[in-house]
């Protein structure tokens, strides 16, 4: 009984603060069932305490789990997210019939323990099913969304035997709010289990730990496989085309690349102060293509995301959705796992262009490429590779050639000065803290700089070659 009383204190505001911070910049959204019509409103995070107080407990109400940079919950406007989640429709499963919310929670905890899934930070009875949430010890930024999606997809797949909703796994998802009624069952949505950490607060997980526990291949293994694959492709002089759909992480790097390309196109618009009227559909088409290819959204949400992207490109622009019908059909084929055959190879139905194609299509200058992450020319890629290798050498203590030569000159001068004082080579080595061979090298190098003619003469003596002046002064030998 004490446990139930304690959990009742975990109210709506406390549950929301577990993954939303009113002190951060951004927006969250509320979805309300108003007499059969669902209405959505977006609010600044700083307004969250006030908004939650005004919620009508007698109506179906849902809230976003992520935070957004604009006042709508489209994934293209994602700012950050601080948890993983699964919506378990346990009421659809025969094994759950007749069980109380607490018994359902106990079943979820037992299943996670048996399957090696980290224990959820909290379990919430939604009125008919269970919401499982894994709080993270830090928020995941928008740049890491493809990795978050990979974890989320695999987590939902692992929980399918418990009735996990396959559709409730995207970052723009809303889940039923605590202390509001589920009008289908008449039950109140409430917290039924909290897994406390050492500090007495709900346990939080490091995202890298969760990825290692959930994903079929560890992150470093994926990176190693990607590098080996690229190396093999270079040896065969083939170009890798990312974007193939996969249920595990084989397509992860392709999805990450697609997301970065979407971000690069947005960066181009910022650099140019906006998108010109004649280029709006070009931007919308390719941004949406890469959004779909990244796995951050799907065909069912495509037109909603297109509206959000169109408003971002030009708030007053009324785009023609019919121009996106081809992309929609390709998205459906992509989700069905279909392939397109070309030149004896198979590709994803969505577009996977080369960088040169995008550079020419959008007229991207070299200066703009310096601000981009992935849409860069071959020369720019080589330049960045050199910079990375140079930085790696610096990190291991290596110095540039000029610094090295300057240091060598200083050591040569020091060795020469000590030699002039009458010290032996061994004594100089001991004083300078270097080897005897190094001191000999310093002295020889210093001598060659000061008197190259002497060294040249020594070389001629060893080889038997006379100097040009000797040859000119020598008398010619009379013919026999």
The reported pLDDT for the residue numbered 232 is 54
Q: DSSP readout, 28-44?
A: EEEEEEETTEEEEEEEE
Confirm if 108 and 96 have CB atoms less than 8 A apart.
no
The reported pLDDT for the residue numbered 238 is 37
CATH fold label, 2-214: Alpha-Beta Plaits (3.30.70)
CA end-to-end span of the chain: 129
Separation CA 304–CA 76 (nearest Å)? 10
Secondary structure element (H or E) that encloses residue 288, with its range: helix 280-293
* Strand ranges for 207-351 from DSSP E: 340-342, 345-347
**pLDDT tens for the chain, residues 1 to 480:** 334 444 445 788 999 999 999 999 999 999 999 888 999 999 999 999 999 999 999 999 999 999 999 999 999 999 999 999 999 999 999 999 999 999 999 999 999 999 889 999 999 999 999 999 999 999 999 989 998 999 999 899 999 999 999 989 999 999 999 999 999 999 999 999 999 988 888 999 999 889 888 876 544 444 555 565 555 555 444 343 343 333 333 445 788 999 999 999 999 999 999 999 999 999 999 999 999 999 899 999 999 999 999 999 999 998 888 889 999 999 999 988 888 877 778 888 899 999 999 999 999 999 999 999 999 999 999 988 888 888 887 777 666 667 767 777 888 888 888 888 888 888 888 888 888 888 888 888 777 765 544 444 444 444 554 544 444 344 444 444
The reported pLDDT for the residue numbered 228 is 59
Decide: residue 254, CB within 10 A, 0-12 exposed, 13-18 middle, 19+ buried. Answer: buried
Separation CA 379–CA 424 (nearest Å)? 53
Please name which of 156, 135, 142 lies closest in space to residue 80, comparing C-alpha atoms.
Answer: 142
Q: Which residues does 159 contact at the CB level (< 8 Å), separation at least 6? A: 86, 88, 111, 117, 132
Q: Which residues does 200 contact at the CB level (< 8 Å), separation at least 6? A: none
Confirm if 319 and 281 have CB atoms less than 8 A apart.
yes
Query: Which sequence spans correspond to the domains of the chain?
Result: 2-214, 234-391, 399-450
| 3 state SS of 393 | helix
pLDDT in tens, 225-267: 556 555 555 544 434 334 333 333 344 578 899 999 999 999 9
The reported pLDDT for the residue numbered 409 is 82
Cα separation values, 117 from 96, 167, 199, 208, 250, Å: 20, 20, 22, 14, 21
Q: Rounded to two decimals, what is the model's pTM?
A: 0.69
* 403 CB-side CA count, 13 A: 5
The reported pLDDT for the residue numbered 229 is 55
Confirm if 265 and 353 have CB atoms less than 8 A apart.
no
């Amino acid at each position: 009984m004490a446990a139930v009383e304690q959990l009742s204190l975990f109210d709506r505001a406390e549950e929301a603060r577990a993954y939303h911070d009113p002190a951060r910049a951004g927006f969250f959204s509320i979805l309300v069932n108003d007499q059969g019509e669902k209405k959505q409103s977006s609010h600044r995070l700083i307004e969250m305490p006030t908004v939650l107080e005004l919620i009508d407990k007698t109506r179906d109400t849902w809230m976003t789990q992520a935070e957004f940079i604009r006042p709508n919950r489209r994934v293209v406007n994602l700012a950050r997210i601080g948890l993983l989640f699964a919506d378990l429709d346990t009421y659809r499963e025969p094994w759950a019939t007749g069980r109380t919310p607490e018994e359902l929670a106990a079943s979820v905890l037992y299943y996670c323990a048996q399957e090696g899934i980290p224990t959820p930070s909290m379990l919430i009875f939604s009125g008919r099913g269970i919401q499982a949430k894994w709080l993270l010890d830090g928020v995941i930024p928008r740049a890491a969304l493809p990795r978050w999606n990979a974890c989320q997809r695999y987590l939902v797949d692992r929980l399918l035997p418990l009735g996990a909703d396959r559709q409730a796994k995207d970052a723009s998802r809303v889940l039923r709010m605590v202390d509001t009624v589920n009008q289908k069952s008449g039950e109140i949505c409430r917290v039924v289990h909290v897994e406390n950490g050492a500090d007495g607060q709900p346990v939080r997980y490091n995202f890298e730990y969760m990825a290692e526990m959930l994903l079929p291949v560890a992150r470093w293994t994926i990176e190693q496989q990607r590098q080996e694959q690229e190396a093999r492709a270079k040896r065969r002089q083939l170009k890798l085309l990312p974007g193939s759909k996969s249920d595990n992480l084989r397509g992860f790097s392709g999805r990450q690349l697609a997301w970065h390309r979407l971000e690069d196109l947005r960066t181009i618009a910022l650099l140019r102060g906006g998108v010109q009227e004649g280029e709006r559909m070009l931007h919308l088409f390719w941004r949406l293509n890469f959004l779909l290819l990244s796995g951050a959204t799907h065909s069912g949400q495509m037109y909603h995301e297109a509206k959000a992207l169109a408003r971002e490109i030009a708030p007053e622009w009324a785009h023609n959705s019919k121009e996106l019908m081809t992309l929609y059909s390709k998205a459906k084929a992509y989700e069905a796992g279909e392939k397109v055959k070309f030149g004896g190879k198979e590709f994803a139905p969505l577009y996977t262009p080369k960088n040169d194609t995008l550079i020419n299509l959008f007229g991207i200058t070299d200066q703009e490429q310096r601000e981009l992450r992935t849409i860069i020319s071959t020369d720019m890629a080589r330049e960045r590779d050199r910079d990375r290798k140079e930085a790696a050498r610096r990190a291991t203590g290596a110095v540039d050639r000029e610094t090295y030569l300057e240091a060598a000159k200083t050591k040569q001068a020091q060795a020469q000065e000590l030699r002039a004082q009458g010290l032996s080579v061994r004594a100089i080595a001991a004083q300078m803290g270097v080897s005897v061979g190094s001191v000999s090298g310093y002295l020889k190098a210093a001598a060659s700089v000061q008197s190259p003619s002497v060294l040249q003469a020594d070389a001629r003596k060893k080889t038997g070659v006379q100097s040009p002046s000797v040859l000119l002064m020598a008398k010619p030998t009379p013919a026999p």
